[in-house]
Structure 1
Amino acid sequence: MKSCIIIAGPTASGKTSLAINIARHFDTEIISADSRQCYKELNIGVARPSEKELAEVPHYFIASHSIHESFSAADYERYALDKVQELFQKHDTVVMVGGTGLYIKAFCEGLDEIPASDENIRQDIIRQYEEKGMGWLQQTIQEQDPVFFAHGEIHNPQRVMRALEVKLATGLSITSLRSGQKKKRDFHIIKAAIELPREVLYGRINQRVDQMMEAGLLKEAESLLPYKQLNALQTVGYKEIFSFLDNEISLPRAIELIQQNTRHYAKRQMTWFKKDEEFEWGTAEQLNEKLKIKN
């Protein structure tokens, strides 16, 4: 049976290097599962793999879309399933790597059928969000759908807007439409995730942010400032620099916040992946050896 090896884990844990090692071992290719590295306008702030790394092994879903395109987990499910079947024509094993848990879940298990978008309601929500900001969005979803507010991704504007849209269009909470039924895939899935001691991971995160600043994150963010309301830019690394560029905070404070918010994001990633008992955990070195033998 064909196999897909999934490499997950928190940001800055070394997923890219491990995935490249595994892909080279099996002489195969890589599908990214990162919801931000897919945007061609974003590079430094999303820690996109280097040109050298991309040249070592063919990657898909890297710089493949524009920040002006709307792209959901359901879109990713279709994209990744089509791509993996295409790659299975040439390879018995394909590697997937990334830290976007919902994308990996969609690929492995599928997503529940949620009602189609109501464009009028959706555009009205987007307009109000752009005018009034995240505080308004969170307060509105708390009033309209307290169940989602209590259990959903309330810091992700795209998720909150979608939940609000479903509630206003159907009267139902988006949480009540989730069946929990997993779809069967016709290929073998092997899940592995990198785990590092917290102090080591946090040190790597802080160092990466310093390297991003040295590589030109400020200049990159400046070029994206006109598009700061787009969903693709509601992400750590850009939001904080935008606050500096809007004279709301100092640059040192922005850098400090990027490091702090990235650490928080890494913690949320670990919480997400730990809920999935199918993941095998270890250091990159341990997983490198196990996966080469296991497949």
Structure 2
Amino acid sequence: MDFKTKYLIAVIGPTAIGKTALSIKLAQHFKTQIISADSRQFYKEMQIGTAAPTDEELRAAPHHFIHHKSIHDDYNVGAFEKDALLKLDELYRDNNLVILVGGSGLYVDAVTKGLDYFPEVNPEIRNELNIELKEKGLTHLQEKLQKLDNESYQNIAIDNPHRVIRALEICLGTGKPYSSFLNKGKVSRNFKTITIGLDAERPTIYDRINKRVDIMMAMGLLDEVKQLQKQQQLNALNTVGYKELFNYLKGTWDFDFAISEIKKNSRRFAKRQLTWFKRNKQTLWFPYDTSLENITTEIEKIITEND
């Protein structure tokens, strides 16, 4: 297609729904490249447990931001936003359309809408919250957040202590809910975003997740986790699939229970992803098994109407 406006096609949806496969087909159809917005696929040490694209998939279409960082690097959503926008400027020199794909809603939003502004708060609040985490545990902080800001409690990655503490420090430091600062005064972009969502009935999503976990184990996830055991305190490794197997390796859980926890926590993660993604009312949702032709027809129709 020949058009004047630059477009970003964002492919979103819950884990194991088929985003990678669709993004590659779209990149091939539009003869373009892919930017990954999956915050765990950035890390080169985490191949199997993050369901990163295989070598074959990486050869099928050019990808960016896959395994470009180490788990030891200090990399966050703000840095990713800057890097991704620079890469988009570069790609738009030769392409009118680029594909963005990922299940990390905050990272997708950072590229498409810009990050939310949060006021500075007293750093001592974070220190106190970290002490509470150590002494009273994550559940205590989760309950605290639920009382102060139930909307954030329902939407953020509640199993991630860094996210919980971040939300709490804003609540405590400003006297306002963390969620009240979201989606305010978004920046303008020099491209238009068309967001494509993949979805399925819950039983189908859960079945796909369970099968993916079994495939990951067959591919050698346990060996991958063993190699990372000494670094398990790093934030990047506080990730479903890794933290459960660390508990198995420590002798806290037996093997079968650890696997069942990976599946359960992956299902919970998928539920949170959908809650986040469903907030965007402009998203075009398709059943996960929709044909490529039907999806590209809709995309091309929107571009034709807008251009």
Q: TM-score, normalised by structure 1?
A: 0.88
State whether residues 15 and 103 of structure 2, in contact with CA within 8 Å, keep that contact through their aligned partners in structure 1: yes
- C-alpha separation between the residues in 2 aligned to 1:231 and 1:271? 23
Q: CA deviation at 1:192?
A: 0.5
- C-alpha separation between the residues in 2 aligned to 1:95 and 1:272? 20
The answer as to 2:202 corresponding to 1:175 is no
The one-letter amino acid of 1:5's match is I
1:252/1:285 Cα in 2 relative to 1: closer, same or farther (>3 Å)? closer
2:40 maps to what in 1? 36
Deviations 1:86-116 (A, max 9, x none): 1101111100111111111121111222245
Deviations 1:109-139 (A, max 9, x none): 1122224586666566557646764235435
Q: TM-score, normalised by structure 2?
A: 0.85
Q: CA deviation at 1:187?
A: 1.0
Q: CA deviation at 1:291?
A: 3.7
Q: CA deviation at 1:161?
A: 2.2
- C-alpha separation between the residues in 2 aligned to 1:178 and 1:210? 37
Q: CA deviation at 1:260?
A: 1.5
Q: CA deviation at 1:171?
A: 5.7
Secondary structure of the equivalent of 2:17? coil
1:190 maps to what in 2? 194
Gapped regions of structure 1 (runs ≥ 5): none
- C-alpha separation between the residues in 2 aligned to 1:116 and 1:224? 35
The one-letter amino acid of 1:108's match is T
The correspondence for 1:103, drawn from 85, 103, 107, is 107
1:127/1:215 Cα in 2 relative to 1: closer, same or farther (>3 Å)? farther
Query: Which stretch shows the higher mean deviation, 101-110 or 1-10?
Result: 101-110
Secondary structure of the equivalent of 2:87? helix
The correspondence for 1:162, drawn from 160, 166, 171, is 166
Query: Which stretch shows the higher mean deviation, 175-184 or 225-234?
Result: 175-184
State whether residues 149 and 179 of structure 2, in contact with CA within 8 Å, keep that contact through their aligned partners in structure 1: no
- C-alpha separation between the residues in 1 aligned to 2:278 and 2:213? 25
* % same residue: 43
1:235/1:54 Cα in 2 relative to 1: closer, same or farther (>3 Å)? same
- C-alpha separation between the residues in 2 aligned to 1:227 and 1:201? 31
The answer as to 2:232 corresponding to 1:245 is no
The two structures, once aligned, show a CA RMSD in angstroms of: 2.5
The one-letter amino acid of 2:278's match is K
The correspondence for 1:14, drawn from 5, 15, 18, is 18
The one-letter amino acid of 2:286's match is G
State whether residues 141 and 148 of structure 1, in contact with CA within 8 Å, keep that contact through their aligned partners in structure 2: no
Deviations 1:205-227 (A, max 9, x none): 11111111111111111111222
Count, aligned residues:
294
- C-alpha separation between the residues in 1 aligned to 2:171 and 2:164? 11
The answer as to 2:188 corresponding to 1:220 is no
State whether residues 281 and 287 of structure 1, in contact with CA within 8 Å, keep that contact through their aligned partners in structure 2: no
The answer as to 2:75 corresponding to 1:71 is yes
The answer as to 2:279 corresponding to 1:275 is yes
